[in-house]
Amino acid sequence: MHNYLQIENAKMVFDTKQGRFTALTDINLTVKQGEFITLIGHSGCGKSTLMNLVAGLNEATDGVLLLAEKEIRGPGPERAVVFQNHSLLPWLTCFGNVHLAVERVFGGHESKARLKERTQAALELVGLGHAMHKHPNEISGGMKQRVGIARALAMEPKVLLMDEPFGALDALTRAGLQDELMRIVRETGATVIMVTHDVDEAVLLSDRIVMMTNGPSATIGEILEVTLPRPRDRLLLADNPDYHHLRGQVMAFLYQKQRRLEKAA
Amino acid sequence: MSAITFHEDRLEKVMKHPETIEIATAGAPAKARPTPFFETERGRAWLAGAGGLFRRMLPPGIGLVLFALLWHLVAISSDGLPGPASTWEAAKTLFADPFYDNGPNDMGIGWNILNSLYRVGVGFGLAALVGIPAGFLLGRFAFLSGMAAPIISLLRPVSPLAWLPIGLMVFKVAEPASIFVIFISSIWPIILNTAAGVARVPQDYMNVARVLNLSEWKIFTRILFPSVLPHLMTGIRLSIGVAWLVIVAAEMLTGGVGIGFWVWDEWNNLNVEHILIAIFIVGIVGLLLEQTLVLIAKRFNYE
């Protein structure tokens, strides 16, 4: 489906103690089904705010957001979120955490055995079939984040929203999870919007990179098509001139154009 | 007293090990012989455990011995205060038959303790029954919390016994009046801690609930309640502590069978040993209640 997710003239204004603060303005973006989009920009540029608008956790002050031709009003399981700090419930096992989501989405019309199957399948998809009955405090940070991804995917969302999902992990774990995410997206055909501040991550994973200007009143500065063929291999990309060219473009946006703007502001 | 002798026992036992280990290592020739216990894996672990226990028990042991010594000195220089030894003797006779029953004015110490615990249990149970839901409501709805805030701030600092006349007036009899005093004085920590716990549920968990679109019931059972439970347990612990503090005073005034009235009765009989024993009993029971709740609270700590 073309223009699966449509954002038109979205604007976000927060009422703070210091007065009205315009976080985002004039946001126009369309996302195709099965596309992988990353939002990149400096801290405070409103990329998480934009993602929260799509998630429905914040409501846009102005403008329209449509998903599959329906207006986004409030949060819902068809827009699953992988939170930065995993947000697993510590009193439930990995299985319990994923099952809570599965039960909510499919509980109305599927048998208990089927719900259990779905939960197990989601955990196996992220390679955690063996840790199913552990509690979050018994597993590593990378594993927790994988449970978070399993929970989101198990809902079979229309869009998977990821807010700096690997930001808190060490570089090696992060690389492993990026590879795994690429595999999962290939297998499931998921539509993904991911917030990141990591240039390499953006180029490696994305079909398009949405680069945002600095706030306040942040907006979309440039959109970069990543034409690298899939499946992508991080080792092969290291010698790929296209990869370096794309990477250079993102760096140029972030460290030349946006830095200058920051000084002017 | 019993606690002190117990520790001395322990100390002696543990003190023996260093000698044992010396003997064992000194007499270790090349000859084939069964490995001495203290050189085996289990033996070393046992020794390390015993050493740790010894180090942990040493300060409280010394503290209790010094306390008994001080008590003894105060007792011999004062007129009428019994020392540790005579109190110990009195306790032995008292606890030889804790459950005798010679009518309502002369019952064994066991009955008195159980009666007090019963009143605390009922009063505290009612407080929990009312206080926990109230705490959840106040934590979830800012408007209700605003409404209740002045009432709670006004009533909370009131001395528990000030409620006794009100209780007696309303209920006409002593028994429910003392339970009412327990109820009203132990309800505040439960309400306040539960409300604070609800207000402090991490926003992340609530975001999960929002994204999943969970029903209010699911939010309560899967997120709110487990998240608030540690705070709730703190409230319950404080509340039981207060209840146990208050019961002694309330029973002194209302009479009946119970540890508080028993203290007053023994004062009228000028049996000071028994009063001292009662003080120890109140302390030990309070400690046991507290420790039990700490153990239960640990079970619900997920961090």
Q: Do A81 and B211 touch (CB under 8 A)?
A: yes
Q: How far is CA B159 from CA B182, B183, B246, B264, in A?
A: 11, 13, 10, 20
How many Cα atoms sit within 13 Å of A260 on the Cβ side?
Answer: 4
- The residues pairing with A209 across neighbouring beta strands, listed in sequence order, are A38, A224
d(CA A155, CA A129): 17
Contact B218 A104 (CB under 8 A): yes
Instruction: Assess whether A133 and A70 both reside in one domain.
Output: no
Q: Does A102 touch chain B if contact means CB atoms closer than 8 Å?
A: no
B303 and A137 within 8 Å at the Cβ level: the answer is yes
Q: What is the model's pLDDT at position B61?
A: 92
Contacts of B61 (CB under 8 A, 6+ apart): B4, B7, B8, B10, B11
Please identify, among A106, A122, A156, the residue that sits at the C-terminal boundary of a domain.
A156
- What pLDDT shows up at residue A80? 92
* Nearest Cα residue in chain A from B300: A91
Q: Which of B204, B210, B227 sits opposite A85 (nearest CB)?
A: B204
Please state the domain extents for chain B. Answer: 2-81, 109-299
CB contact under 8 A, B207 and A87: yes
A70/A185 same-domain check: yes
Judge if A40 and A108 occupy the same domain: no
Structure tokens at B182: 């327990």
CB-based contact, A84 to chain B, within 8 Å: no
Answer whether A90 sits within 8 Å of B211, measured CB to CB. Answer: no
Could you tell me how many residues make up chain A? 265
Whether residues B211 and A57 touch (CB distance < 8 A) is answered with yes
- Architecture of B109-299 per CATH? Orthogonal Bundle (1.10)
Tokens linked to A39: 């939002």
Report CA-CA distances (Å) from B102 to B33, B93, B98, B162, B232.
65, 16, 12, 33, 42
User: Any idea how long chain B is?
Assistant: 303
For chain A, 265 residues long, give each residue's pLDDT as a single digit of tens: 567 899 999 999 998 888 888 889 999 999 999 999 999 988 878 888 999 999 999 999 999 999 988 899 889 888 999 988 888 999 999 999 999 999 999 988 899 999 999 999 999 888 898 999 999 999 998 899 999 999 998 988 989 999 998 888 888 888 988 998 998 888 888 899 999 989 999 999 999 999 999 878 889 989 999 989 888 998 988 889 999 999 999 999 988 877 755 554 4
**Per-residue confidence (pLDDT) for residue A178, from 0 to 100:** 92
Neighbours of B40 (CB within 10 A): 12
CB pairs under 8 A between A and B: 51
CB of A83 within 8 Å of a chain B CB? The answer is: yes
User: What's the pLDDT tens digit per position in B42-51?
Assistant: 888 888 888 8
Select from B207, B218, B222 the Cβ nearest to the Cβ of A83. B207
For tokens 């153990």, the residue is B295
Contacts of A81 in chain B (CB under 8 A): 207, 211
Q: Which residue has the tokens 């989501």?
A: A101
Contact (CB<8Å) A85/B207: no
| Residues A191, A62 share a domain | yes
* Residue A85 counted as domain residue: no
CA angle A247, A197, A219 (to 5 degrees): 90
Whole-number pLDDT of residue B11: 47
CB contacts, 8 Å: B213 with chain A = 75-77, 104
For residue A100, give the nearest of B207, B212, B303 by CB distance.
B212
Domain annotation covers residue A84: no
- Put simply, whether B301 touches A (Cβ < 8 Å) is no
Same domain? A240 vs A179: yes
Instruction: Indicate yes or no: CB of B207 within 8 angstroms of CB of A100.
Output: no
**pLDDT tens across A36-60, in order?**
999 998 887 888 899 999 999 999 9
Do residues A152 and A166 both lie within one domain?
Answer: no
Residue B106 has a pLDDT of: 77
Residue A83 belongs to some domain of the structure: no
Do A150 and A171 have their domain in common? Answer: no
Last residue of a domain, one of A139, A156, A173: A156
| Pair A183, A135 in one domain | no
Q: How far apart are CA B45 and CA B38, in angstroms?
A: 9
Cα(B161)–Cα(B89) distance, rounded to whole angstroms? 34
Name which of B205, B227, B302 is nearest A137 (Cβ-Cβ): B302
Q: How many domains does chain A have?
A: 2
A63 plus A177 within the same structural domain:
yes
The encoded tokens of residue B297 equal 């609270």
Supply the CATH number for residue A239's domain: 3.40.50.300
Q: Report the Cα A18 to chain-centroid distance in Å.
A: 30
Q: Using one digit for the tens of pLDDT, what is the confidence trace for B3-30? A: 444 455 444 444 444 444 444 444 444 5
> Which stretches of chain B drop beneath a pLDDT of 50?
1-6, 9-29
Domain end call among A136, A156, A176: A156
Residues A35, A138 share a domain: no
For residue B11, the SS3 value is helix
Instruction: For residue range B182-205, list pLDDT tens digits in order.
Output: 999 999 999 999 999 998 998 889
Q: What is the pLDDT of residue A208?
A: 95
- In eight-state DSSP terms, residue A18 is T
Chain B CB within 8 Å of residue A85 CB: yes
Whether A203 and A74 share a structural domain: yes
**Same domain for A125 and A190?**
no
Predicted confidence at residue A226, as pLDDT, reads 92
| Residue A43 contacts residue A196 (beta carbons within 8 Å) | no
d(CA A153, CA A128): 14
With an 8 Å Cβ cutoff, are B222 and A77 in contact?
no
- Quote the CA–CA distance of A154 and A160 in Å, as a whole number: 11
Burial of B303 from C-beta contacts in 10 A (0-12 / 13-18 / 19+) = exposed
Has residue A36 been placed in a domain?
Answer: yes
- Closest residue to A80, CB basis, from B205, B211, B302: B211
A118: domain range?
Answer: 90-156
CB interface of B with A, residues 197-216, below 8 Å:
204-205, 207-208, 210-214
